Amino acid sequence: MANVIETTYGKISGITKNGCLEYLGIPYAKAPVGDLAFRRPVDHEPWDGILNADKGGRNSIQGFSSRHYISYNGQDCLYMNICVPENAGTGLPVLVWIHGGSYATGGTGRINEESEDMVYDLTRFARETGCILVDFNYRLNLYGFMNLNCFSSRFDMNCGLFDQIKALEFVRRNISAFGGDPDNVTLFGQSSGGACILALMTMPEAEPLFAKAIVQSACVDSFWTPAQSEKLARTYLRMLGYSRKKPEQILSAAPKAVYKANRDLKIQIRAKGEVTCVFSPVIDGKTLKDYPGRIVSASDKPLLIGTVMREADLFTNGLPAIIIPYTPRLFKLGTRWGRNLRRRVSDDLTYKVYKKPVLDIASSYSGNVWLYDYQYKKCRHADEVPVLFGSNTEPGRDAHAPANASLEPDADALGVTLRTVWAQFARTGSPGWGMYKDTRDIHIFK
């Protein structure tokens, strides 16, 4: 059998596609079900024979609806994909993607059980750059980030973050067998995925597992304190009709009830003007010592970090006109009444949630740091992702998203530029322009 790789768990075989060798649906931990549900992930048991890694795995249960475009999902979701350019040799740079989705939605497996289509096609990125590309699923929403530990030690905190660490441990131990350099691993991620990277940069368990970081449009401050997370967990259990004295009841919660409670909790916290993601990680003083935006500055890892010009348009464009005059007060923006109020509200929200926290990190960062701003076309939150991958990435994510933007000639050229810069950073630790602390330069992509 062709393309057989020996991993620490056993042998796997892949497929050839678009000039790459792909290994899809590799289990990197035991299924987090039964006694392992809501606990930190544990190593997978070795398997006999050759595992046929030719199809993407199941994604995490999606956050707010059973009708999400990713329909192939479930609690057994801890799978990764590795994409290797053909005939590229050994010692290759490794880029590991951590997907976003407000800690509640998204994935990297198959979109549905009947299709071979993946949420992310890694082949063009790997083929053009000569880098190995890796992505993986981690537990989301209730299953990955709800803090039930405050009621019972049966439940661990921040399981989604520890899924990510377990995936990076697999990469560290095995990537050389695929031709990668385990000492040259670069994390890149967008939105909550970017915020997770900032968190991982502050966690001792994760620090040795990667060398560099690219953080795209991170919701930098989207973390809960223990008191906040306990209040949310109490409310959540009450929505499900469960007692906080018996949180184990949640182990048998019906999916429909979970979706409804997820939606109801989101509506409730947004109505209070809270911009933090509903299922954000918890700053517990143990797994996370403090808000990553405050303490990541102590890191010396090379960091490329940036935003898109009009992030908040994704959230404000759909608001009814009657709501817009009330949003400045609700979200504590200070936007003055006047013409083009929707535009100014969105820009102020973009600055508050995305741009200012990124500038604060860059201004105090100990290591080498570079900034960028993505300004191609409408450039809402997440609009750079399909352009970056150069494929029909995340089809169906949003009817208004440029799912096929990579097919347009100017977007295609920009995508080549982005992939070249990301790969150069992965190889050398520099994207090719002046460091922020030396030049105050913010590189523009448009």
β-pairing, 79-85 with 20-27? antiparallel
Taking the mean position of all CA atoms in its chain, how far away is CA 76? 18
Mean pLDDT of 58-75: 93
- Report the alpha-carbon distance of residue 400 to residue 439 in Å, rounded: 37
Tracing tokens 């960062």 back to the chain, one arrives at 365
- Report the alpha-carbon distance of residue 379 to residue 388 in Å, rounded: 13
- Give the tens place of pLDDT for each residue, 305-361: 999 999 999 999 989 999 999 999 999 999 998 999 999 999 999 999 999 999 999
Query: Which residues, in sequence order, are CB contacts of 206 under 8 Å at separation 6+?
Result: 164, 165, 168, 200
For residue 138, count CB atoms less than 10 angstroms from its CB and return exposed for 0-12, middle for 13-18, buried for 19 or more: buried
Tracing tokens 């009709």 back to the chain, one arrives at 241
* % of the chain surpassing 70 pLDDT: 96
b/e map 233-243, b = 16+ CB within 10 Å: beebbebbebe
Cα dihedral value 195, 198, 199, 204, nearest 10: 160
**pLDDT reported for residue 391:** 77
- Report the alpha-carbon distance of residue 51 to residue 8 in Å, rounded: 13
Residue 422 has pLDDT above 90, yes or no: yes
The closest alpha carbon to 417, from 129, 184, 133, belongs to 129
Lowest mean pLDDT among 77-86, 163-172, 377-386: 377-386
**pLDDT reported for residue 407:** 52
243 to each of 86, 114, 225, 259, how far by Cα in Å? 55, 39, 22, 19
Is residue 51 within 8 A of residue 11, CB to CB? The reply is: yes
**pLDDT reported for residue 67:** 83
- Report the alpha-carbon distance of residue 117 to residue 297 in Å, rounded: 39
Mean pLDDT of 172-190: 98
Mean pLDDT of the chain: 94
Residue 285: both structure tokens together: 């003083």
Residue 388's identity, in one-letter code, is L
User: Domain map of the chain by residue range?
Assistant: 4-226+278-445
Is residue 151 within 8 A of residue 157, CB to CB? The reply is: no
Strand partners of residue 444: 373
Residue 168 has pLDDT above 90, yes or no: yes
Q: What three-state secondary structure class fits 289?
A: coil
Residue 75 has pLDDT above 60, yes or no: yes
Q: Which residues are catalytic?
A: 191
Return the DSSP state at 14. Answer: -
**Which pTM does this prediction carry?**
0.96
**pLDDT reported for residue 409:** 75
b/e map 34-49, b = 16+ CB within 10 Å: eebbbebbeebeeeee
Residue 185 has pLDDT above 70, yes or no: yes
Residue 2 has pLDDT above 90, yes or no: no
DSSP string, 56-76: --PBPPPSS-TTSS---B-S-
Return the DSSP state at 8. Answer: S
What 259-265 contacts at long range (C-beta under 8 Å, 24+ apart), as own/partner pairs, is 259/63, 259/64, 259/65, 259/66, 261/142, 261/236, 262/63, 262/64, 262/104, 262/141, 262/142, 263/64, 263/65, 264/239, 265/232, 265/235, 265/236, 265/239
**pLDDT reported for residue 394:** 56
The architecture of the domain spanning 4-226+278-445 is 3-Layer(aba) Sandwich (3.40)
Query: Which residues, in sequence order, are CB contacts of 433 under 8 Å at separation 6+?
Result: 370, 439, 441, 443
Mean pLDDT of 229-253: 96
